[in-house]
Chain A
Amino acid sequence: MKRVSAYLCYARASAAVAVRYRTALLTQVALLLVQVFVLTRLWHALYGTHNQEEGLSVHSTVVYLTVTNLQTLLMSTSVAGFVSYRVRQGSVATDLARPLGFVGQMLAWHSGKAIVLLCIDLALAPVAMLVGGFGAPPSPAYAAWYILLLVTGWALNAFIATLIGLSALWLVQVFAVSAIVRLSGQFLGGIAVPLVFFPGLLRNIADALPFQFLGYVPAAAYVGGLSDGRILRDVGVASVWVVVLGASIWAVERRARRKLTVAGG
């Protein structure tokens, strides 16, 4: 119980830091609205007189893009940079000396900020849908699938960020690695282009990676673009990814602890 309350303190501190830097959050929100505005106009222009492409109507696509961009805000995390900073400063030694798991501390940090981002997302959703497009899931079942897939995607994102953060124990500076993973992840996750529009090889690559669960899969479920069978299969595949990435974190952390050298700080 004491451990849980310690992790909660960590999450509260992370939420407080996120709120303290509210200018950064407001800027993220402004950029998100610009992206929703441009992407939705872009897709309206692309559809032109066509009503339906690849099983998606123009309205579904616009709602999909609004939802994926709102998800992007929720998925933005500072964990990788946070670990990298603490490795450079040497304060990672303090984290490791605490009677709490290092990865647990990082995930608590990720969760604290995520709660703030979720509140912003919920408040922002009507504005973003006004700028982009309004739309609700076709049925309560789809809404439930959406929430489940979003939570799974959020967990996968946290695990990916933690793995990049742990790589700081070897690389020290992970800004570029983090940026490369984030940018390719956003593209292959279908944030700006639904994966159904990807050509064959690119689609296969996107399907083989976990990034689709951060953007495409939940958003496609939200607009009713996935069948029940496909959703069940995706939940299964996402769960396998959670296990694989969780095991990778466990293995990498064990090696990282042996590798770490704190010189001064």
Chain B
Amino acid sequence: MQRYLRIYFALQRASVQSSMAYRANVIIMVLTGALWQGGGLAIVLVVLAHFHTLAGWDFRDVAFLYGLRLMAHATWLTPLGSLTGFDFAVRYGDFDQMLLRPVNLFVQATTRPRWFLGLGDGVLAVGVFTAAVLYAPVHWTPGRALLCAVFIGAGALIESSAWVVVAALAFSMTATSQIGQLTDGAMGTLGSYPLNIFGATTQRVLTFGVPIAFVAYLASALLLGKTNGLVVPSWVAYLAPAAGALCFSLAVWFWSRQARHYQSTGQ
């Protein structure tokens, strides 16, 4: 394990150094990443400036939910962001080189040179979440702060699982950028608003079918004391870490299974 971590950090350093060779591109990517995620926040700002509440959630509540989701998003994107462009490694034969190295394939897949869209997401996430924590009507205690950190980690695991599955599909489909966009769009759109705007059936599907509710909604409802609108018992929110660990383990298992079917494109 220690060896894998050492290799992981060495490869991450190399990945960052190779991307930093194009500094202007990195700066523009950071701005684009922030704008990408900030667009949804701008919508929330504009509509709540006019309507004041959304299904019983005021601006501070929705900002907290939005900030929590962004933190989960940035938390997985920073260490595993290379997975978002993994189909390039399959299409252009980079995976052939990975197969020759005596290092775990998944570790190599997560440490390829990356775009820095995630850094912009991270900067925005920290800014929005800090402001939300300061103004959200949450009675903070050390226990709640720890719980919040655990929920962010769980959300990150759930969101990253979806991307690990997208990366795994690259072995059979070769090009997965569109599926990636769909995943990112669906996660961003469905995960950023209180899910009680939907009917009970949709909420259950988004809790137990596609567990987007575990990314930030259930945690926010619990911390903000807004469990009245939930269609599941409030204790279900505490299952987020288990759900995250299960989803991520299954996704990595699926990735490893799919990797066995890899056929080089010959490039």
Contact = CB atoms under 8 A, between A and B. Distances in A.
Contacts of B39: 183-184, 186-187
A263 interface: no
B178 A38 contact: no
Contacts of B51: 46-48, 53
B189 interface: yes
Contact of B182 (A31, A45, A173): A31
Interface in A225-248: none
Contact of B54 (A45, A177, A180): A45
Interface stretch (B24-32, B81-89, B95-103, B219-227): B24-32
A96 interface: no
B181 interface: yes
A41 B35 CA distance: 24
Interface stretch (A7-15, A133-141, A145-153, A191-199): A191-199
Contacts of B25: 173, 176
Nearest to A41: B197
B50 A197 contact: yes
A193 B39 CA distance: 11
A45 B50 CA distance: 13
Given A31-B186, A187-B43, A42 B54 contact: yes
B48 to A, nearest CB: 8
Given A46-B51, A187-B39, A199-B46, A180 B197 contact: no
A143 B46 CA distance: 29
Interface in B21-59: 25, 28-29, 31-32, 35-36, 39, 42-43, 46-47, 49-51, 53-55
B137 interface: no
A179 B30 CA distance: 12
B260 to A, nearest CB: 23
Contacts of A34: 182, 185-186, 189-190
A176 B31 contact: yes
B198 interface: yes
B43 A24 contact: no
Contacts of A19: none
Contacts of A23: 173, 175, 178-179
B185 A31 contact: yes
A53 B51 CA distance: 9
A183 B53 CA distance: 25
B193 interface: yes
Nearest to B184: A31
A197 B47 contact: yes
B197 A42 contact: yes
A179 B36 contact: yes
B42 A35 contact: no
Contacts of A89: none
A173 B29 CA distance: 11
B63 to A, nearest CB: 15
A27 B181 contact: yes
B31 A180 contact: yes
A86 interface: no
A198 B48 CA distance: 11
Contacts of A46: 47, 51, 54
A44 B197 contact: yes
A46 B51 CA distance: 6
A53 B50 CA distance: 9
Residue with the greatest number of chain B CB neighbours at <10 A, chosen from A27, A47, A53, A184: A27
A199 B185 CA distance: 26
A73 to B, nearest CB: 13
A238 to B, nearest CB: 24
Nearest to B55: A45
Contact of A176 (B32, B46, B182): B32
Interface string B2-30: 00000000000000000000000100110
Closest 8 CB pairs of A and B: A27-B178, A45-B197, A176-B28, A24-B178, A45-B55, A46-B51, A176-B32, A31-B185
21 contacts: A27-B178, A27-B182, A31-B181, A35-B189, A38-B193, A41-B197, A42-B47, A42-B193, A45-B55, A45-B196, A48-B53, A176-B25, A176-B28, A176-B31, A180-B32, A180-B35, A183-B39, A186-B39, A187-B42, A198-B46, A199-B50
Interface of B: 25, 28-29, 31-32, 35-36, 39, 42-43, 46-47, 49-51, 53-55, 173, 175, 178-179, 181-182, 185-186, 189-190, 193, 196-198
